Amino acid sequence: MNRISPETFDELCPSSMLPIRMQNKWAPLVMRLLGEGTQAFSELRRALPRTSAKELTRALRSLDRDGFITRDTDGDAPGYRLTPLGQSLLAVLLDVYAWTAKHWDELVDARERADRPEPGRPSTTC
């Protein structure tokens, strides 16, 4: 097995340039929505009711900064849309979504096992 090079996680290496930053869980969902076409901020907000306006704005800014989306201000209905770079990444994300759907039961079972309290340990739920 090849060992990971120490340079793998340097600031300017491919590993550090992962397109969807793990700390922004809304970015992949925004990209999926924009895969359906240009959408206004309010449309994205309605489609993602569990996110705040601040979180959505942060996701949009991150995606824009990385070149995956752009904001159209022309025409009657300004909104956000995927760039060609964003469309190419969406294709990869759709594969990940398909994998998730295929393994859904296994993922849920694993989480339930991990969240189950150990015998003799008090539960943290009310």
Average pLDDT, the chain: 83
Give the residue among 118, 120, 117, 97 at the shortest CA–CA distance from 107.
97
Cα 33–Cα 39–Cα 42 angle in degrees, nearest 5: 100
Helix, strand, coil percentages in the chain from 3-state DSSP, rounded to 5: 55, 5, 40
Which of 75, 81, 94, 79 minimizes the C-alpha distance to 28? 94
User: Do the Cβ atoms of 34 and 81 come closer than 8 Å?
Assistant: yes
Q: What is the rounded average pLDDT of the residues 50-60?
A: 94
Q: Does residue 118 sit in helix, strand or coil? A: coil
Q: Is the pLDDT of residue 116 over 70?
A: yes
Distance of alpha carbon 22 from alpha carbon 18, whole angstroms: 9
What digits encode the pLDDT tens for the residues 56-91? 999 999 999 889 999 988 777 789 999 999 999 999
